[in-house]
Amino acid sequence: MAETLFEELKRYVGFGPEDEQALRALHEVAQPEFPAIAEVFYARILEHEGARSALAGESQVGHLKVTLRAWMEQLLRGPWDENYYNLRCRIGRMHVRIALPQHYMFGSMNTLRQEFNRIIDENYARQPEVLRAARVALGKILDLELAIMLHTYREDLLAQQARNERLSTFGQLVGSIGHELRNPLGVIETSLFILKGRPLASDERATKHLERIGEQVTLANRIVSDLLDMIRDKPLKREPLRLDEVWKDALTSVQGAPGVSIQAEGLEGLPTLQGDPGQMRQVFVNLLENAVQALGETGTVTLSASSGPEAVELILEDSGPGVSEPIRRRMFEPLMTTKARGIGLGLPLVKRIIERHGGSIVYAPREGRGARFVLKLPLPTSSL
C-alpha cells in the first residue's frame, strides 16, 4: 500500500512511538496551562494589524481561544493518524479563505513553541533525559504541523489563483457580450410595448404569449445585469441603512407557494447602519429566492437578527433539504448552481455585496434538515 503524505512527513522528521509517549507525558503537565497559553497566543496576534484584520478583530477571539485549546489537546494527546492530518489540513485551507499571510503562521507557531518549552523547563529541570525527549518530540510535532498547514495552504492558494484567472477571462467575455445583448433586448421590449397596444392584444391567447415574452425579457435583462454586476465595481451608496425597511421591501419581490411561511424577528431593534439600501435589498432577495425555491410547496424561512458590540448578526434559516458537503465548498463561486434554471450568480453576488460593506457571510449547517446562512455587518463605527 502506498505511503500517505502524512506518513512520509512523519518518517522525514523521525516522528515515532517514543515521541508519542513523550508528548502524552507532556500533556499531563501542560493541560492546566492551556487557557493561559491561549491568552498569550491571541494577545500576540492582536498586536499585529494584518493578523487582527484577517481574524476579524477581537470579536472572534473568544471562540478561537476555545478552538486553540482543543487544538493543543489533540497536539499532545494524538492519535497522530490520518484523521489528525485531515483536521490540520482544514486549518491551512481556512487560512487561505481568511487571507491570513503565511508569515503569521510561523510567528504563531513560535509563540506556542516558547510556551511549551517554558513548561518543559519548569517541570523537567531535574530530569534531563525526560526534558530532552519532550523537547525533541515537541519540535517534531510542531514541524509536522507547519508542514501540513503550508502544504494545504499552497494547494488551496494555487487553486484560488487558477479560479481567479478563469474569472478574469470570464469577466472580459461577459463585459463584451453583456453590452451587446442590451441592444436586442431593448428592441424586443419596444416592439412588445407597441404590440400590446394593437388589436392583436384583444386575442386572449396572443395576450398570454405577449405576457410570457415580457417575463422572459425581464429575466434576460436581470441575468445580464447580474453578470455585469459581478465584473464591475458598482459604487456603494453610503447612507443610513435600516435593515428592517430593506427586508420589508425585499419581501415584495419574492413570491413563495401558499404553504411557505416567511418570518423575521429582531430586525426592528437593530441600530441604523451605513451602507447601500439597494444593494442590501438584492442580498435579501437573492437569499430569500434560494430558500423559497429549496422549500417547494411547504416550509418555513426565518430571519433572526441581533446586535453585538462591533457588528449586527443576521441568521437566515429554512426548513428545506439543506446543502450537501461538496456543494458547500463552492457555493459562493460564480457559475456554481444546482438549479435546473439559473446560472449560479445569486450567492456570489450576495458575498460580494456583503464584503464590500465590510461584513461577512458563511454557510453554517443546521442540525437535521435545512440551510443556514450567517451574515455579519459592521456597526457605523467600523469602516465600510
Indicate whether 303 pLDDT > 90. yes
Q: Which residue has the higher pLDDT, 340 or 267?
A: 267
pLDDT of residue 305: 93
Q: Which CATH architecture has domain 5-163?
A: Orthogonal Bundle (1.10)
**What pTM was computed for the model?**
0.50
Residue spans of the domains in the chain: they are: 5-163, 172-231, 239-378
What are the residues whose beta carbons fall under 8 Å from the beta carbon of 318, sequence distance 6 or more?
291, 294, 295, 299, 300, 301, 302, 370, 371
State mean pLDDT over 134-162: 80
Question: Which DSSP letter does residue 99 get?
Answer: T
pLDDT of residue 384: 38
Indicate whether 58 pLDDT > 60. no
pLDDT of residue 347: 85
Indicate whether 301 pLDDT > 80. yes
Most confident of 21-30, 55-64, 140-149, 255-264: 21-30
Q: Are 29 and 154 in contact (CB under 8 A)?
A: no
Omega within 30 of 0 (cis) for the link into 101: no
The rounded mean pLDDT for the chain is 81
What are the residues whose beta carbons fall under 8 Å from the beta carbon of 267, sequence distance 6 or more?
243, 244, 247, 303, 305
Indicate whether 254 pLDDT > 70. yes
Indicate whether 383 pLDDT > 60. no
Which fold does the domain 239-378 belong to in CATH?
A: Heat Shock Protein 90 (3.30.565)
Radius of gyration of the chain from its Cα atoms, rounded to whole angstroms? 27
Q: Which residue has the higher pLDDT, 228 or 16?
A: 16
In the chain, % of residues over pLDDT 70: 77
pLDDT of residue 157: 63
